Structure 1
């Protein structure tokens, strides 16, 4: 018996040495960017950790289809510890780059009883060494499962060291979340647990179906605000944000930037189409927990739209939120200011890439010439979008 115990101890030590050796080898391969070997070592490492670790992944899915390489099971080994305090609202703002997600997040952050996570995709993107601007579904595919995991983690106030490390190094990110020195595990967890409501805004989730399939959503714990913006306005904002120059003397630069414009317009139209289809597939009993909001309505009429947002998540409008709205200068047409910034030739590119049904569903009106584009009397936004029946739409 004594010999058997010694043998087991030796075997445990040997297994531990093997795991550590594999980790060090994998770290070297990752650091040297030997791409073809990364997946091989991930699979070997998964096998060494065994099924016991894989069972500890806290997110439960009805149907996981978006982790074909099996990269996820070993990455999160903790078990969540739900807070004892009753949580009233868990809100996910699902948007894309330059669609007004930060503005929407601020309307929730203004409420003193909201904990706010600003773009968890920033963390996941850095872990995967991914381009900040490329948001095609195929490119973002490897980060989708860990992104969903980070969202669910925040809703349950469970955090990994990577999140805290990112907040420690990034004062700009802390400012967006309205926190100062809450960067230790205990302080940040205490901060989160102390709030009755939690909100996450993300611009790197490709398909809302990946959240709809989680146990948290199927149990009715999550409210989803799907924020959309006119594709033409989104591309107009992106080309200025990413400094695409069309007036340079170098012809190659102009060509490359037109190609970028075309590519990102395609990605955004595909994202709208994918998520509209996924919204239609939400079970009827859960559709009350999903709503579409247009940026144009939120920007032009916050006094109308924000109270409806709070009604959707089941909360009264707090005085601080009212003060934030009252402090803004309301100007009709503010959400359509892009019409004098984006020329007709590039407007046409977007209109041709997004099909007519998509424009009608979201209530956006196409133009046929420059005169219509710059004429403020020509409506670009319909007050009666033809969104499929059964889908909630705040107007």
Structure 2
């Protein structure tokens, strides 16, 4: 999508068995890969973080980022129910990738439930850090920098033990199982077994030609602060018709009829702010941002994926093409949080057959600014909403 035109548009202000077998094979393959490096790679583990004052709240962010010039870095900045899991999986499957799914998940939870306006994070060397809730953004960027520099031993224990590692990643899935039983509330040092687990994950990270991270808890403003530090970093800003997002959230009860209006206003405000930043990035950092509409990926998965890899300067490998076809033309539909779909194109428009017409109007009007920018159309009548031959978006030019 051409972000160069945003300036004029923005206001200034048994199937079950098969599934189990596939999941088991995936876990086993990950563990075998991890074991191969575990016994064959000797990597010096960087020193653990120095002792930290338990009352310290200052955050030293963005001043020690090293530049990996021989690798590609991609951040996928998305929103819940925008197809971000599918998009992230494209890069997870790349032949030399270190991919992390939702690196900020546990941090977001910690900062959402503070005790006395303070958040305590623990680290593998037994130390703790106390942060103010107002330091959330700095802490987020600090941990992202640790990921980007393969300083996995510097991440908080909350992040290292995130349950998402065991499902949606490869290297960190293996780390998750390798490190089982080595983390505890009273951890005071890195034991030999945990050290080996860390070494192997760090080795994979350092050797990867692609570092990819998928976020739904990172703003474009936060992501943009990393671009000057990493000249080889690019950002994919993943968006979707807000009516599809909200209907999907209603289906899984992430939005309720009671919270509906508040949730819509919150989302529309967030994406409008993000698009303002997306407008500015190409001016400061040309060819380093791509706005991707979920509908384009769902309706033309191979063509759109090839465009994404070209944007990143990566080879669109044959096994990736096979993977994408399998995910978007599966023999059965997978779970509500999974990526396999019988017909991804049909899935992307399914909301039109289920959403309440009055709700659809409220969502569109509330998000009107971003909808105009992204090309989403109003579908003002109930007949137009249900008639899938009437497009819900206009064509926009690619970057």
Interval containing the TM-score (normalised by the shorter chain): 0.5 to 0.7
Equivalences for residues 160-309 of structure 1 within 5 A:
160=153, 162-163=155-156, 166-168=159-161, 170=163, 172-179=164-171, 180-182=173-175, 183=179, 184-206=197-219, 208-214=220-226, 216-217=227-228, 219-242=230-253, 257-282=256-281, 284-309=283-308
CA distance in 2, matches of 1:306, 1:174: 25
Identify which of structures 1 and 2 has the higher relative contact order when contacts are C-alpha pairs closer than 8 Å and 6+ apart.
Answer: 2
- Number of residue pairs matched by the alignment: 296
Q: Do structure 1's residue 321 and structure 2's residue 316 form an aligned pair? A: no
CA contact (8 A) 1:300 1:334 kept: no
Match of 2:151 in 1: 158
Seen in structure 2, the aligned counterparts of structure 1 residues 113 and 233 have a Cα distance that, compared at 3 Å, is same
Seen in structure 2, the aligned counterparts of structure 1 residues 82 and 376 have a Cα distance that, compared at 3 Å, is closer
Q: CA deviation at 1:185?
A: 2.0
Seen in structure 2, the aligned counterparts of structure 1 residues 80 and 185 have a Cα distance that, compared at 3 Å, is farther
Q: Where in structure 2 are there 5+ consecutive unaligned residues?
A: 1-50, 115-132, 180-196, 330-342
Q: Which one has the bigger helix percentage?
A: 1
Three-state SS of the structure 1 residue aligned to 2:285 is: helix
Q: Deviations over 1:94-116 (max 9, x none)?
A: 00111111110001111121101
Q: Do structure 1's residue 100 and structure 2's residue 83 form an aligned pair? A: yes
Q: CA deviation at 1:288?
A: 0.7
Give the counterpart of 1:111 among 80, 85, 94. Answer: 94
Q: Deviations over 1:112-159 (max 9, x none)?
A: 21101111121212432549xxxxxxxx96522222222222121112
Q: CA deviation at 1:321?
A: 0.8
CA distance in 2, matches of 1:141, 1:365: 38
Q: Where in structure 1 are there 5+ consecutive unaligned residues?
A: 1-18, 24-41, 47-52, 61-78, 132-139, 245-256, 386-392
CA contact (8 A) 1:105 1:201 kept: yes
CA distance in 1, matches of 2:299, 2:146: 34
Give the counterpart of 2:375 among 347, 358, 363. Answer: 363
Three-state SS of the structure 1 residue aligned to 2:277 is: helix
CA contact (8 A) 1:151 1:200 kept: no
TM-score scaled by structure 1?
0.68
Larger Cα-atom Rg: 1
Seen in structure 2, the aligned counterparts of structure 1 residues 159 and 80 have a Cα distance that, compared at 3 Å, is farther
CA contact (8 A) 1:212 1:218 kept: no
Seen in structure 2, the aligned counterparts of structure 1 residues 268 and 296 have a Cα distance that, compared at 3 Å, is same
Match of 1:381 in 2: 393
Alpha-carbon RMSD across the aligned residues, in angstroms, is 2.7
